[in-house]
Structure 1
Amino acid sequence: MLICPICRSSLTSVDNGVVCSSNHRFDRARQGYLNLLPVQHKNSRDPGDNQAMVEARRRFLDAGHYAPLATRLAQLAAERSPGRWLDIGCGEGYYTAQVAQALPDADGYALDISREAVKRACKRAPQLEWLVASMARVPLADASCDLLASVFSPLDWSEARRLLAPGGGLLRMGPTREHLWELRGLLYDEIRDYDDEKHLSLIPPGMQLVHSETLTFELQLDSAQARADLLAMTPHGWRASAERRAAVIDATLRSRVAIRYDWIERDR
């Protein structure tokens, strides 16, 4: 199942780690994850979300503000009954843990390029195999997954197709054009529009959209900490001006949450 990120041969378990036939060895961290991100595959010393961003996301999600999103994601995953699944871009593991709970008999994996995120994610579902790895060079074998989950995460579509077994699918969860519309109106003079179906043009041959749905609800944030955390866990935390961000943090926020779920299946 696991493959070496350097030579792409199979990895086998050894004492406190894994090793391939070329003797590339990777130790398991004390938190339980495997770091399968070689230095030559990094674009910075510590790629991905930093500690402050991870902690902001953890506080916000653990407070339940996006709980309906996680519940529906887990329901959709359970409907597919995969034998093996991977959360590709798992972050600090909030959504991953919900999916794991819905799939108690499945073989689960989760990866993110951020070591800070995976360190915290491990604690949420120790039964999973947690990996620090590149989403563009996923260290899993071809056609090894029945379900891929991609939640608010960039995606390498060619890797997704490579990883999926015939008949398996990608469960993608991402924002629609209306997501946090009111918040964006407070932060910017002009709200940048985008096409909710733009990502569908990226679907590679051999995969097709089978199901799509949208979940919408109103979010109310009375806590200044929650408002600050929401900004910190989104691109708005660095795109918007400091003055506009401060104004959002200072007042109760009501804004739409509008999320699209897609099931994109690989041909059998």
Structure 2
Amino acid sequence: MLTCPLCQAPLTRLDNAVRCAAGHSFDRARQGYLNLLPVQHKNSRDPGDNQAMVEARRDFLDAGHYAPVAQRLAQLAAERAPARWLDIGCGEGYYTAQLGQALPTADGYALDISREAVKRACRRAPALTWMVASMARVPLADASCQFIASVFSPLDWAEAKRLLSVGGGLMRVGPTQGHLMELREALYDEVRPYADDKHLALVPQGMQHQHSEVLEFRLQLAEPKARADLLAMTPHGWRASAERRSRVIEQRAPFEVTISMRYDYFVRQA
């Protein structure tokens, strides 16, 4: 199932490592994850989200603000009952852990390019296989997954198709154009519209768009920390001016925002 990121040969599990027939070996970190991101596949010394972003997202999600988003993803995954699944771009593991609970008998894998994220994620569900790895070079065998989740994550569509067995599917979860509209209006003089279906043009041949739905609800952020965490885990934390960010964080009244998520499911055809 696991493959070597250097030569793509199968990896054999050892006591505290994995190794391929060519002798490439990768140790398991004390936290429980496998680092399958060779230095030559990195674009920087520590790619992906940094510690501050990871901890802000962890605190915000653990407070339950996006619980309906995770619950719906878990329901959709359970309806499809895969034998093996992957969370690609798992971040700090909030959604992954709920997938694991919804699919207790399935073989679960999760990866992210951020070591800081995976280091924290693997504590949530030690029974899953956690990996630091590239989403463009996933160290899993061809046609090995029946379900892939991609939540707020960049996606290599060709790689996702490679990983899916025939009949298996990819569930993509991402924001609609109305997501966090009130926050964006508070941060910018002009809110630029964007198409929340542009990913449909990237879907490769052989994958069929089978299901689409939108989940929308209102969220009240009463505490300054919750508003600060939300900013820190989004691009708005560095795009918006410090003055506008402070105004949002420090206002006395609860800040109400719209949460609007789109779920799209794509099935691998024969």
Tell me, in whole angstroms, the C-alpha distance in 1 between the residues paired with 2:128 and 2:201.
32
Residue type matched to 2:207 in 1?
A: M
- When normalised by structure 2's length, the TM-score is 0.98
2:41 maps to what in 1?
41
* Structure 1 residues 103-142: aligned runs within 5 Å: 103-142=103-142
2:259 maps to what in 1?
257
2:217 maps to what in 1?
217
1:5 maps to what in 2?
5
* Structure 1 residues 19-38: aligned runs within 5 Å: 19-38=19-38
- Structure 1 residue 197: deviation in Å? 1.1
2:238 maps to what in 1?
238
Cα deviation 1:167-208 (Å, max 9, x = unaligned): 000011000000000100001111111112110000000001
Aligned with 1:254: secondary structure? strand
2:268 maps to what in 1?
266
Q: What is the percentage of aligned positions where both structures have the same residue?
A: 73
1:160 maps to what in 2?
160
Tell me, in whole angstroms, the C-alpha distance in 1 between the residues paired with 2:26 and 2:212.
39
Runs of 5+ consecutive residues of structure 2 not aligned to the other structure: none
Tell me, in whole angstroms, the C-alpha distance in 1 between the residues paired with 2:214 and 2:237.
25
- When normalised by structure 1's length, the TM-score is 0.99
1:190 maps to what in 2?
190
Cα deviation 1:152-173 (Å, max 9, x = unaligned): 0000000000000000000110
Tell me, in whole angstroms, the C-alpha distance in 2 between the residues paired with 1:92 and 1:221.
21
- Structure 1 residue 108: deviation in Å? 0.2
- Structure 1 residue 136: deviation in Å? 0.4
Give the number of aligned pairs.
268
- Structure 1 residue 102: deviation in Å? 0.2
Tell me, in whole angstroms, the C-alpha distance in 1 between the residues paired with 2:4 and 2:99.
26
Tell me, in whole angstroms, the C-alpha distance in 2 between the residues paired with 1:196 and 1:87.
21
Task: Quote the RMSD (CA, aligned, Å).
Answer: 0.6
Residue type matched to 2:109 in 1?
A: Y
Moved over 2 A (4+): none
Aligned with 1:40: secondary structure? helix
Aligned with 2:200: secondary structure? helix
Tell me, in whole angstroms, the C-alpha distance in 1 between the residues paired with 2:102 and 2:83.
12
Tell me, in whole angstroms, the C-alpha distance in 1 between the residues paired with 2:171 and 2:259.
19
Tell me, in whole angstroms, the C-alpha distance in 2 between the residues paired with 1:163 and 1:238.
34
Asked if residue 149 in structure 1 is aligned to residue 149 in structure 2, the reply is: yes
- Structure 1 residue 253: deviation in Å? 1.0
Residue type matched to 1:262 in 2?
A: D
- Structure 1 residue 15: deviation in Å? 2.5
1:56 maps to what in 2?
56
Aligned with 1:37: secondary structure? coil
Tell me, in whole angstroms, the C-alpha distance in 1 between the residues paired with 2:138 and 2:204.
17
